[in-house]
Structure 1
Amino acid sequence: MAKEFKMIPSDDEIQSLERDLRFHATENDNPSWLTSDQIADFNRTGYVAPIPIFDLNEIADIRCYFDDLLDQVTAQGGNSYSISSAHLKYGRVHDILTNQRIVDHVADLLGENVIGWGSHFFCKMPRDGKAVAWHQDASYWPLSPSKAVTVWLAIDDADEQNACMKFIAGSHHHGHMTYRPSGSHEDNVLNQTIENPQQYGDTVFNPLAAGNVSIHSDLLLHGSEANESDRRRCALTLRYCAADVRAELGWNEKGVQVRGKDESGHWSNVPRPATD
């Protein structure tokens, strides 16, 4: 029987933990899938993009699957942002999290022992009015040390018109940043806001064609505008860390061993859900 974990820890619970929130640069002189220049760019800017993963037919199939899943979730009272930790519930999302084409690129950044632990659909419906304020992923995660990345899989084409993601290049070198809670009146999908992001670097937009991914450090400052277009913008975020990372608040129960070994047995290596 798996232990229970805290799905959404409180801010106080996260901040009370002792964590190593320094950027740990990738040292890989012989990457298998990324180029040496891409490794250098990741260390310098905090992200690498675009990376083609799924062809047009494959991503069309994933999109149809998500459309059906979204219909089910909204019929049960959820919304387009509420499909979280999806690999624990849905077999096909588990399949994407463990897809070796994705894991190959992640392993070039994190090493040969990799855990996949998170999966969350961020689907901005046409003119939904909600932005994702500037934030760092590490602020939300009870993980240490900070050797974790997010893979952002574009299910729909994402560009500036329908609110693609944006980064502050190089901001991951500043460590963990001070943020303020977001008020309900701000229409922020999340609940944290980092002010004056330009003090940490230049803004770079991250347009991606459907089927492509970007990979960014958990310390990279990023966000997205509200989608004011007539087109949907859906993505699946997949979260990975090195196997030597430790998770508090029971979050190790979310983990799937996707590459190499977990010698300590810290991560539970949850099996694929039998059905969707």
Structure 2
Amino acid sequence: MNAPTTFNAIPGQGDLAAVARTLDFHPSTTTAPKVLAPEQISQFNRDGYLKPFRIFSDAEVGGLRAYFADLLARYTAEGKDSYSISSAHLRHGRVWDVLTNPRVVAIVSDLLGPSVVGWGSHFFCKMPGDGKTVSWHQDASYWPLTPSKAVTVWLAIDYADRGNAAMKYIPGTHVLGHLTYKLTETDPSNVLNQTVPEVEKYGEPVYVELRAGEASVHSDLLLHGSDANESTRRRCGLTLRYTPGDVKAYMGWEDKGVIVAGDKPPHWSNRPRPTEE
């Protein structure tokens, strides 16, 4: 593992450049997990991800899919696109319910420890033939959180396979620290504004094929991305973000917090369930 690196200037990141962040992998130290096996804790520390977990039954995820279709229709009526439903737990009670779901919280608590804050929820929906890629990136690069201990639960709303642009990981890259990236703000085919180049030198990708209602979990420093969806099928996933309570947030992100395990840390908010569905 590389030595911890502190960044206090991130070119092209606006206000984030003013945040001093330590971006280095912190292995899970859980010795008596409640729902994960000890081997899964070791696998997460080694590879930077775990998959798959069955979170919702077919009937349950069918209800979520219908809910998302309605939500997407509301957002597109406002002139937004299929990637615009971000921080959804702050506005929509149904998404807050998924963020705080005990089945999800049990998994992330086994990785992160007894104090856990849920702070992020974003639908990444690739419409049929939308042509947009999610370039190779590290989540922690974008976030005003320090130290970098966050994990993402990627919940499949639709069936995700290689044919409709399932996510892909490069195992073990979470221990390399904050990798050099290029800005891609002028590339309309890239959902993000960064890309880590020459990723082939880090190893072969693993495709995260999931049935609807299944989820994967990955470290905030794991290299990942997805290809363009050139199929006739939609590929929607809901990303749920969590961090231990000792992590500090800046730029107002602490106000996104929902305490899902343990006592409320003094530097995080605890947002109530929104009334709007």
- Taking structure 2 as the reference length, the TM-score comes to 0.94
The CA distance in 1 between the partners of 2:17 and 2:39, in whole Å, is 35
In 2, distance between residues paired with 1:84 and 1:97?
13
Tell me the number of residue pairs that the alignment of Structure 1 and Structure 2 aligns: 266
Partner of 1:187: 189
Question: What is the CA distance between 1:202 and its match in structure 2?
Answer: 2.4
Structure 1 stretches lacking a partner, 5+ long: 1-9
State the partner residue of 1:200: 202
SS in structure 2 of the partner of residue 229 of structure 1 = coil
Structure 2 residue aligned with 1:64: 66
**How far did 1:186 drift?**
5.0
Quote how far apart the aligned CAs of 1:15 are: 3.2
Structure 1 range deviating more: 16-25 or 124-133: 16-25
3-state SS of 1:67 partner: helix
Percent identical residues: 57
Once residues 101 and 208 of structure 1 are traced to their aligned partners in structure 2, the CA distance between those partners, rounded to angstroms, is: 17
Measured on the aligned residues, the alpha-carbon RMSD in Å equals 1.0
Look up the match of 2:6: none
One-letter code aligned to 2:137 = H
Equivalent-residue separation in structure 2 for 1:217 and 1:202 (angstroms): 18
Paired position in structure 2 for 1:116: 118
Q: Is the 8 A contact 1:34 1:105 kept in 2?
A: yes
Q: CA deviation at 1:183?
A: 4.0
2:40 aligns to what?
38
Tell me the equivalent position of 1:273: 274
Give the SS at the match of 2:187. helix
Task: Give the C-alpha shift of residue 30 in structure 1.
Answer: 1.1
Instruction: Give the stretch that moved more between structures: 36-45 or 180-189.
Output: 180-189
Aligned equivalents of 1:117, 1:80: Cα separation in 2: 21
Matched residues in 2 for 1:79 and 1:21: separation?
Answer: 31
Deviation at 1:109, TM superposition (A): 0.4
Whether the 8 Å contact between 1:22 and 1:145 is mirrored in structure 2 is yes
The question of whether the paired residues in 2 share the 8 Å contact of 1:172 and 1:219 is answered with: yes
Cα displacement (A) at 1:14: 1.7
Scaled by the length of structure 1, the TM-score of the pair is: 0.94
Counterpart Cα distance in 1 of 2:182 and 2:16 = 14
Q: 1:168·1:198 contact (CA, 8 Å) conserved in 2?
A: no
Matches within 5 A, 1:136-147: 136-147=138-149
Deviation at 1:16? Answer: 3.1
Match of 1:88 in 2: 90
Map 1:155-170 onto structure 2 (within 5 A).
155-170=157-172
| Residue number in structure 2 paired with 1:242 | 244
Give matches, 1:167-178, under 5 Å. 167-178=169-180
Match of 1:100 among 77, 102, 120: 102
User: What SS does the corresponding residue of 1:185 show, helix, strand or coil?
Assistant: coil
> Is the 8 Å Cα contact of residues 14 and 139 (structure 1) preserved in structure 2?
no
Contact 1:162 1:229 in 2 (8 A): yes
Name the SS of the counterpart of 1:51 in structure 2. strand
> 1:133, CA displacement in angstroms?
0.2
